[in-house]
Each structure stands twice: as C-alpha cells, then as structure tokens.
Amino acid sequence: MLWISLDEDVFNSVSALYFKAGLLQRMVDKVPEQFLLNTASWRFLVPRLYREYPDDDILLNISAVSPPSVRINVGRIDATVDLDVTVNVLDFGEIVPVACISVSVAVSGAAAVSENNLVGRVELDYFSFTLKWSKVGKLHTSLVQTVLRILLKILFVPYVNSYLEQGFQLPIIKGFSVIDACVLTSYSRMIVSCNVAFTEPEVLSPVQESKTNEDLSHEVSLLVGSAKTWQPPITSVKFL
C-alpha cells in the first residue's frame, strides 16, 4: 500500500502558479441569459448606462486580483478568491470600461483519484461584493447580486472545475498505476491511500531500440541535471 501526504501549501503554490500565468481571468461575452449583456436590458435600472451607450453589447472581464487561498479541513476542502468584475461596453468596436465590482467568492469541494491523477470538484458556498468604481452612477444591489450569482454558478465554477477535472499527476513510478485509491483530509493535510499495480511495459519501436550509447548518455545527463534542480511538491510518500 502507498500513502501520499500533501500539505495545503502545495495547493496554494499551484494556485499562485496559475495566477502568475494569467490563467485566472476570462472575458465573458456569452451567458445563458444573453439579454443581460446588452445595455437595453438595463435602461430602467441604470438609465445613464443606456443613455450613453444605447443598445450596445456588454463584455465582462472577470479576473482574480490575488492567488486563491486553499484550506484543508476534516472532510472538506475550502477555497476563497477575490475577483474584479469589470463591466465593459462595446461601443462602435471599442471596449469602454464603465464599472468595476469587487467580489469575494468562497467555494468548497472534495478530491478524488482518477487513474494516476488527483482531481477535484468545487461548488459555490457564498459570495460578497462591493462597487469599486462606476462611470454610470450607482448600481442596484439586488440586481447586481442576481447577475453575479448567475455568472458565478454558470460560468466561474464550471471554469474552475474544468481545470480541476484535468487533475494533477501523482508521484507514481512509471510503469505502475494507482488502484483502490481513497482520499482523506485532516487539518491542513490531504492523504491519498492506494495500492499500486504493475502495468505492461511499452514495446520499443526499432527506432527507439537503435539509440546509440552517445544518445543514452546524453539523456542520462539531462535527467541527472533535472534531478538536481527539481523539488518534489509532496510532503511525504510511504510504502507499506
């Protein structure tokens, strides 16, 4: 049996990496309630918006302002992220920012093992928001809350889950696969308990078998060099 222990700092490091890579932002121009992304739908609620930009399409730029924070607790995983939702109007082909809303989102979920990958899925717990700035006057709180709830449930959460469902590869030796896996969570730590099974080795093609000693030496030197700089993200791995 194999035990893999992962500290929550590992997941916070991954979220910081996604944030720095610019993967936690998205421009939204299509929603199930598409009529909401046109100024005509807001003519009575935000009159100034419609007066200045009549019948113009709306684009929403949703971006994280900091890396998400992950907390592992007993039986659950929680995460919070702060977002800026910038409301843009497409005016004669030009994108014009007209308002920005700061949103704090809390989600919770669970992890599982699929093949040799650690995967997950989250659901929306709650959110809060404040109007950061506006060029078109005040926005109605109840309406903003309704629109944000739609965006978070139908766009934001599925977007996050699309990455979590791809998963992260567990540190398993090549040629082995994970079976009978169970994921346990405790305070600040996740433990993957599983068995491993030997898989059939790949059959080498004639080209692969004809590698020269020089080619093999070069590959070994690259592996050694990588091993010197690589630091495993896991806390510990134990075979029982």
Amino acid 19: pLDDT: 93
Q: How many CA atoms lie within 13 A of 198 on its CB side?
A: 2
- Mark out the alpha helices in the chain (DSSP H runs): 8-20, 47-52, 141-151, 157-164, 206-209, 213-229
- Whole-Å CA distances, 86 to 21, 59, 69, 147, 200: 20, 8, 22, 13, 52
Amino acid 129: pLDDT: 94
Under 8 Å CB-to-CB from 109, ≥6 apart: which residues? 76, 77, 79, 120, 121, 122, 123, 164
Nearest-CA neighbor of 146 among 9, 31, 7?
Answer: 31
Complete domains list, the chain, with CATH? 2-169 (3.15.20.10)
Amino acid 35: pLDDT: 86
From first to last of its 240 residues, the chain has per-residue pLDDT tens of: 788 888 999 999 989 998 999 988 889 888 877 888 999 988 888 889 999 999 999 999 999 999 999 999 998 999 999 999 999 999 998 999 999 999 999 999 999 998 888 999 999 999 999 999 999 988 888 878 888 898 898 888 988 898 889 888 888 878 888 888 899 998 899 999 888 888 866 554 554 444 445 554 554 454 444 444 444 444 444 444
- The single residue listed with the structure tokens 């449930």 is 153
Chain Cα centroid distance, residue 14: 9
**pTM (two decimals):** 0.75
Q: For 33-93, where are the E strands, in sequence order?
A: 57-64, 69-73, 76-91
- Mark out the alpha helices in 152-205 (DSSP H runs): 157-164
